[in-house]
Structure 1
Amino acid sequence: MNLRQLEAFRAVILGQTVTRAAEMLHISQPAATRLISALEEDIGFALFERLKGRLQPTPEALVLYEEVQRSLLGVERIARTAQEIRTLKRGSLQIACAPAMGLGFMPRAITAFQREHPEVQISLVVHSSREVVDLVVGGRCDLGVIVEPNTYPSPRAEKLLKSRMLCALPVGHRLEPQALIVPEDLEGEAFVSYPHAIASRQHVDAIFAAHGVQRHLRLETQLSLPMCLFVEEGAGVALVDAISALEYRGQGVVFRAFAPAIEMDFSLLLPPQAPLSRLQERFVEHMREFVATQVPSAYRVQ
C-alpha cells in the first residue's frame, strides 16, 4: 500500500464514483481506477461493488475506511504543519537580552515581528550580557542580544548598532543649552553611576580621572532606565547608552552628546555551531530592519 492508493480509496468512498474521485484528486479516471485495483491486489480483498452505476463499498471497505480516514487526517496535519513551518507561521524562539535592549527596545521589536508571524511563540528573558553569552553558548536559547565592549569572549555575533553614550541632564540644568558636554563641564556634579562590576563604569571613571575631574558619586544602579529616573528626580547627572535614551518616555531629562566618545556596540548573538533555522534567519533579518528604521541617525556611529 502507498499513500496515493489510500487517498484514492477515500475519494471513491466520498465521491461514490471513480469519476468524482479522479476530479477530487486532480488525476484521470483510468489513473484512479488503477490505484483502486492496485490497493485491492495489495490487501487481498474487494473494496467496492458496482450497483446501478455507483460503487458500493463492501463491509470490509467500511471497516478499512475508518482507519484510513484517521491516518490520512494525521498526514494532512503533518502537511499543514510543514506548510506553516515553511511559511514561518509556526515555531518558537527563545531570546536572551541585555537590559539596555530588553526593557523597551526588544519588546517593541518582538511585537512588530509577531504582527507578521502571529502564531510564532517567543520567550524573552533579560540577563546581563555575560549571562546572555553563557545561555547562547550553552544552547539554552536561540538568539541573544548583548552590549559591548565586554571583557569576556562571545560566540558568533552580528553587530546591530554602534552608538555613543549620552549625557543625561535634568531639564533646566545649567548645561542644557550646550550641544556637547565634556568632562570639565561636570566638575563637582552629583553623578549617577553604573556599579564597578559593569565595564562601562570602569571606562567612564578612567576618562574623568584622565581629565582630573572630580564628581560626587552618590548613587549607583546597573540599569540605564532607572538611572534616567534618578536624573529626572534631580539626583544627579549620568552617562547612559543611546538605546536607553531612545526608550526614555519621561519629560524631565534631556540628552546631550558627550566627548570624548564612549562607544557601545549592540550585537546579536547567533548559535556558535548549529545552523540557523528559517525562523531564526527571518528574525535576524527583522532585527536589522527594525534597528535601521527605529534608531535615528543621531544615535548612531557610522
Structure 2
Amino acid sequence: MNLRQLEAFRAVILGQTVTRAAEMLHISQPAATRLISSLEDDIGFALFDRIKGRLQPTAEAMTLYQEVQRSLVGVERIARTAQDIRSLKRGSLHIACAPAMGLIFMPRVIAAFMAEHDGVQISLVVHSSSEVIDLVVGQRCDLGIIVLPNTYPSPRSEKLLATRMLCALPAGHRLCDKPVIVPEDLRGEAFISYPRSIGSRHQIDTIFAAHGVERQLRLETQLSQPMCEFVEHGLGVALVDALSAVNYRGERIVFKAFEPAIEMDFSMLLPVQGPASKLQTAFLEHTQAFIARHVPQAYRF
C-alpha cells in the first residue's frame, strides 16, 4: 500500500463515485480507478461492489476506512506542521541573555518577533555573560546574547551592536552642558560603580588611574538600570552601557559621551555544533533589524 492509494480510497468513500473522487484528487478518472484496483490487489480483498455503475463500499471497506481516516488525518497534521515550520509559525527558542539586553530591550525584541510568528514558543532567561557562554557551549540553550568589553572570540557568534559607554549625570549637574565628559571632569565626584566581578569595572578603573583621577566610590551595583535610578536620585554619576540609556525612562537624568571611549560589544552566540535552524537565523536577523531601528546612531561605534 502507498499513501496515494489510501487517498483515492478515502475519496471514493466520501465522493461515492470514481468521477468525484478523481475531481477531489485532481487526477483523471482512469488514474483513480487504477489506484483503487491496485489497492484491492495489495490487500487481497474487494473494497467495493459495482452496482449499476456506482461503487458500494463493502463492510470490510468501512472497517478499513475508519483506520485509513485516522492515519490520513495524522499525515495531514504532519504536513501542516511541516508547513508551519517552513513558514516559521511553529517551533521554540530557549534564549539566554545578559542583563544589559535581557531586562528591557530583549523583551521588546521578542514581543515584535512573536507578533509576526504567533505559533512560536520562546523562553528567555537572564544570566551573566559568562554563564550565557557556558549555557551555549553546554548546548543548554538555542541562542545566547552577551555583552563584553570585547567580542567573545568564537566563529559561531554574530556581533549585534558595538556601543560606547555613556556618562550618566543627574539633571542640573554642573557638567550637563559639556558635550563630552573626560576623566578629569569627574575628579572627586561620588561615583556609582559596577562591582569588581563585572568585566567593565577593571577597564573603567584602569582609565581613571591612568589619568590620575580619584573618585568617591561609595555605591556599587551590578546592573545599569538601578545604577541610572541612583544617578537620577542624586547619589552620584556613573558610566553605563548605551542600551541602558536607550531603555531608561526617567526624566531627571542626562547621558553624555565619555572619552576615552569604552567599547561595549553585544553579540549573539549561535549553536556550537551543527548549522543554525531557520528559526534561529530568522530571530538573529529580526534582532539585527530591530536594533538598527531603535538604537540611535550616535550611541554606536
Fold-level similarity (TM above 0.5): yes
SS of residue in 2 equivalent to 1:268: strand
SS of residue in 2 equivalent to 1:14: helix
* Rounded Cα–Cα distance in structure 1 between residues aligned with 2:9 and 2:151: 66
Give the AA of the match of 2:48.
Answer: F
Written as runs of structure 1 = structure 2, the 5 A alignment for 1:200-279 is 200-279=200-279
Give the Å deviation of 1:65: 0.4
TM-score, length-normalised on structure 1? 0.97
Written as runs of structure 1 = structure 2, the 5 A alignment for 1:65-144 is 65-144=65-144
Give the AA of the match of 1:232.
Answer: E
Residues 1:163 and 2:173 are matched in the alignment: no
Give the Å deviation of 1:284: 1.0
Tell me whether 143-152 or 233-242 shows the greater mean CA deviation. 143-152
8 Å contact from structure 2 (residues 142, 280) kept in 1 = yes
* Rounded Cα–Cα distance in structure 1 between residues aligned with 2:239 and 2:41: 81
SS of residue in 2 equivalent to 1:218: strand
Give the Å deviation of 1:273: 1.9
SS of residue in 2 equivalent to 1:89: coil
* Rounded Cα–Cα distance in structure 2 between residues aligned with 1:34 and 1:171: 84
Provide the residue aligned with 2:282 in structure 1.
282
Give the AA of the match of 1:34.
Answer: R
8 Å contact from structure 2 (residues 195, 221) kept in 1 = yes
* Rounded Cα–Cα distance in structure 1 between residues aligned with 2:142 and 2:280: 8
Structure 1 unaligned regions, length at least 5: none
Give the Å deviation of 1:19: 0.2
Provide the residue aligned with 2:15 in structure 1.
15
Give the AA of the match of 1:106.
Answer: M
SS of residue in 1 equivalent to 2:249: coil
* Rounded Cα–Cα distance in structure 1 between residues aligned with 2:137 and 2:154: 8
1:185-217 per-residue CA deviation (whole Å, 9 max, x = no partner) reads 111110000000111110111111111111110
Give the Å deviation of 1:50: 2.4
* Rounded Cα–Cα distance in structure 1 between residues aligned with 2:297 and 2:34: 67
Provide the residue aligned with 1:196 in structure 2.
196
* Rounded Cα–Cα distance in structure 2 between residues aligned with 1:86 and 1:157: 24
SS of residue in 2 equivalent to 1:236: coil
8 Å contact from structure 1 (residues 155, 270) kept in 2 = no
Provide the residue aligned with 1:46 in structure 2.
46
8 Å contact from structure 2 (residues 104, 247) kept in 1 = yes
Structure 2 unaligned regions, length at least 5: none
Residues 1:35 and 2:39 are matched in the alignment: no
Give the Å deviation of 1:241: 0.3
Q: How many residues align?
A: 301
8 Å contact from structure 2 (residues 150, 263) kept in 1 = no
SS of residue in 2 equivalent to 1:113: helix
8 Å contact from structure 1 (residues 180, 256) kept in 2 = yes
Task: Give the percent of matched residue pairs that are identical in Structure 1 and Structure 2.
Answer: 76
* Rounded Cα–Cα distance in structure 1 between residues aligned with 2:198 and 2:49: 81
Give the Å deviation of 1:289: 0.8
Give the AA of the match of 2:226.
Answer: P
1:50-102 per-residue CA deviation (whole Å, 9 max, x = no partner) reads 23432110011000000100111111111111111111100000100000000
8 Å contact from structure 2 (residues 179, 256) kept in 1 = yes
1:19-75 per-residue CA deviation (whole Å, 9 max, x = no partner) reads 000000000000000000000111111111123432110011000000100111111
For the aligned residue pairs, the C-alpha RMSD in angstroms reads 1.2
Tell me whether 2-11 or 49-58 shows the greater mean CA deviation. 49-58
Give the AA of the match of 1:207.
Answer: I
Tell me whether 112-121 or 44-53 shows the greater mean CA deviation. 44-53
SS of residue in 1 equivalent to 2:251: coil
* Rounded Cα–Cα distance in structure 1 between residues aligned with 2:86 and 2:45: 40
Give the Å deviation of 1:153: 6.0
* Rounded Cα–Cα distance in structure 1 between residues aligned with 2:150 and 2:289: 25
8 Å contact from structure 2 (residues 151, 266) kept in 1 = no
The runs of 4+ residues in structure 1 deviating greater than 6 Å are: none
* Rounded Cα–Cα distance in structure 1 between residues aligned with 2:38 and 2:152: 66
* Rounded Cα–Cα distance in structure 2 between residues aligned with 1:158 and 1:280: 12
